[in-house]
Structure 1
């Protein structure tokens, strides 16, 4: 496997390496980042007091709010002259989050994404069609650097331009597709609509991320394309894609623990929870140079898996993401993630994997409406058939979620598609009405 020694490092040696790197990183951050120096002083902890990995809990958390307050380079640990590349979030909910990279950071990024692609069996003989967006978004560049590191041929096509995506697959013999899972579904749908069997294009592997997706969606993508689909994980604040990924066992995502220390904490209290207990993922960068972060609260909900993996890699794994604490819907006191709804919909014949959740409030009562497309085959003018399918879906949702939801079946091709970015799964009108 790529970088075999690092990925098979015995757990005792890995923890020793983590401690050495953590101590060095904390000392460096305290010396170079005034914000952290102040926060650590407030917490009453000195760098030399970090004697074990258990002392990590003494360090302050970092959140997206602090990164925005420090825009653009307030949390950088190197002079501006040492930064060679910048990526950032969209800034759709405020100031964008900026991640500045040194040359060493880019080399690290390439190595980690090389591990990711190699983990799925990609090598120098492969053609990687990179449908993640390029630009300030991290997805496109992360896959690009990783494919280049392991010697694969990269097709930097970016997102959108769906007809050309399919033509490129056929012309260049693409073997590997990288992109968002929702776009992979749309691409297959578009192909069928234009008389092309997606399986005829010869893809073998797919690497998907940047948005939560369910096991049912994985099966749908694999069925559409005839491929093996791998879940990949990362976020702009940490490095981009390259924090962790699935191996062929598909039993959780290996976190690259020699570079990122994972914790899972109670979202309300911030107290670490035992391995196997669901909570919020927190990450500390052990080797990042440009924008190192201590205990970054990702808002991603998962749990840590400490049992050895059959693939031989020794890093701990995280369960595939169950949602985000800030994407979580609380409806009539029940916590709901869009993926739970997706799991139900993809089990039901007659509906397509394109849906939106519309949350509203009537008087003091929250309501959940699920708009989902009918498939072309099941599209019917018979009102009784449509109503019967809606009632069945509502019953399945009530059983899975524990609350009543209204299902509205809509015509094929009417739910907005994610053709250039992440799918918008939820529309919450409660906040709008509160301010009217």
Structure 2
């Protein structure tokens, strides 16, 4: 089969690789009908995630048709159409039973290695380095799905691949980020969001779904700001405006009640001269850059909430921990517990409350176009916001 693979920092290629096979009785094999490039895949491309190996198959936003099931899998049958969450969870350990699906204690075969950095093992992830299990990803024609009787959700008739594909990651990620802000219609909260990429876009709409009064979206890419405005968000272009001064003015000196940092480890930009010098220094190293996080901590009102879906992997540049403490802020973060949200968010799609396909800007039926589209997405060229592939042709 064909698959998109990581070769080295900055180099993604389309290769012919062996087809996946059933390795456990609870496995399933799916024929991938749609998959996408996630913003966190760019961290892999840019060499920010350790333990990637030449030839690793990328991708963790995947759906398709079940073509084979293991003998112990009684939930799925051949022909089922499923969306596969990016976290691999067993459903039986204490973390899964607590609803902390992304903290599953059993699914990462390299958990001991991961524990050397994180203290404890976490859930395995598709296509996201060997420290998270070394599982082949879903930017391919076929995908082996471990614990397939726990993770995938069966898609009902009447919904297109484009509508449901993002249940695999970015829709639950944006929704969890918004949910962590304790939004209710009665609270009339103002939420500020750093980053208007795909997760930020889902977070904007999720905030409104949950009843936020105002959403202020922060970015510098015109097409992303326009998409945020189309959802009803007010916007700040940080290339022309000082974020903190503008936030203070927009909220009449009160500040946003909660903030969402949807940028992560490769953030750029700063307001003060010291921050600008630090940004320039850190940008030429592999150290992760917390500029969006620091701006969010600064921008949040005292006693507010900082929700952080942005991905980080290891060592981080200086974080404004003193501001976090002195302002009495609550920090909420973590990989998304995707399985928790699959059914509720599927129902929102079915009810017409949201169509996540709005975020797709580029489509391709040819995985061989993947390397070029990776570069286009990374470089924000051609108004590229979200790329979806249909490995077996056509589009949904």
Per the normalisation by structure 1, the TM-score is: 0.29
Per the normalisation by structure 2, the TM-score is: 0.31
Larger Rg: 1
